[in-house]
Amino acid sequence: MRSFDEYVALAEKAHGHICAGQILGLRMAVLGVKLLGLQDPESGDRKRLITFVEIDRCATDAVAVVTGCRLGKRALKFRDFGKVAATFCDLKENRAVRVVARESSKQRARELHPDIADKNQQQMKAYREMPDDELFETQWVEVKLAPEDLPGYKAPRVVCDSCGEGINFRREVTAGGRTLCRACAGESYYRLAPGS
């Protein structure tokens, strides 16, 4: 693995700035892969590690820097739970660890560095220094992954009977004897603008 300062530089480049969330995400990912015993996840077997992130904030970009997991590689999975948490799944050993930022970490940062008025600077400094067990809670968990959720999965592409758009990775829905995309089945996050 790289040094922490190297990860900070990579995270700043990838995310556009460095902040407390980035430091927290880097620490979270380093701990997760360390607990799994992975020496160099970003250059190792790209199909060995899958990471679930539970928030779409700064920490998530930092997790991707350490793990090498990316959405486009199908190795980074987003679950919108609004929690600063990530689950690191070692597919080779069939085990997973969930790492959650402790709610008390912000208060602890204030206690450690009351002299730093800027909250972001205060937290960045504290999050670099705090021991893992003060910063995070860890849980060994089981994660069920279907074959279609794995990197490298190949399956026939199907076409939605309603909109005609292609659907990959068994994400179609069968309703009333029709093959539908999730949007046409009522799970859409968008609607057509008037006049479209």
pLDDT digits (tens, 9 = 90+) for 26-60: 999 999 999 999 987 776 666 799 999 999 999 99
Angle formed at CA 97 by CA 107 and CA 76, multiple of 5 degrees: 95
Can you tell me the distance from the alpha carbon of 89 to that of 36, in angstroms, rounded to the nearest whole number?
A: 8
**Same structural domain for residues 176 and 141?**
no
pTM tops 0.85: yes
Q: What percent of the chain has pLDDT over 90?
A: 82
Q: Which of 43-47, 73-77, 109-113, 124-128 has the lowest mean pLDDT?
A: 43-47
196 lies in some domain: no
**Same structural domain for residues 135 and 182?**
no
Q: Mean pLDDT throughout 147-167? A: 90
DSSP state of 72: G
Cβ count near 55 (within 10 Å): 20
Domain holding 172, by residue range, is: 158-187
195 lies in some domain: no
Task: Using alpha carbons, select from 68, 63, 104 the residue that is nearest to residue 87.
Answer: 63
**Same structural domain for residues 127 and 169?**
no
28 lies in some domain: yes
Q: Mean pLDDT throughout 171-180? A: 94
